[in-house]
């Protein structure tokens, strides 16, 4: 997966699963302040990302708890997914 594919995947999850508007989503958007996700949404987001990456790549990847706790912005998600699919 290249950077554009990762961004499309993450953005589509935020739009479809969490009903966010595409205009709200950018690298610097804070997941909890700007996009108004709560801690339960954070867990749901990790699960949705892992499923989507598996569907897209065929690889069963897990986002480690420590990395998940450090996800603050949409850009952080892009980077973690990018690192996992390398």
Q: If you average pLDDT over residues 54-66, what whole number do you get?
A: 92
- pTM comes to 0.93
For residue 8, the model assigns a pLDDT of 97
Given a cut of 90, is residue 59 above it in pLDDT? no
Q: Where are the domains of the chain?
A: 3-85
Residues 7-55 have pLDDT tens digits of 999 999 999 999 999 999 999 999 999 999 999 999 999 999 999 999 9
Q: If you average pLDDT over residues 59-65, what whole number do you get?
A: 91
For residue 36, the model assigns a pLDDT of 97
**CB-neighbour burial class of residue 76 (10 A; exposed 0-12, middle 13-18, buried 19+):** middle
CA separation, residue 25 to residues 54, 59, 66, 68, 74 (Å): 23, 26, 24, 19, 7
Q: What is the CATH number of domain 3-85?
A: 1.10.1200.10
């Amino acid at each position: 997966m290249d950077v554009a594919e990762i961004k499309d995947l993450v953005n589509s999850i935020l739009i479809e699963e969490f009903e966010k508007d595409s205009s709200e989503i950018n690298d610097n958007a804070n997941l909890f302040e700007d996009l108004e996700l709560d801690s339960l949404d954070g867990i749901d987001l990790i699960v949705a990302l892992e499923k989507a990456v598996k569907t897209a790549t065929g690889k069963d990847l897990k986002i480690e708890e420590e990395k998940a706790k450090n996800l603050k912005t949409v850009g952080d998600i892009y980077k973690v997914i990018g690192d996992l699919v390398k």
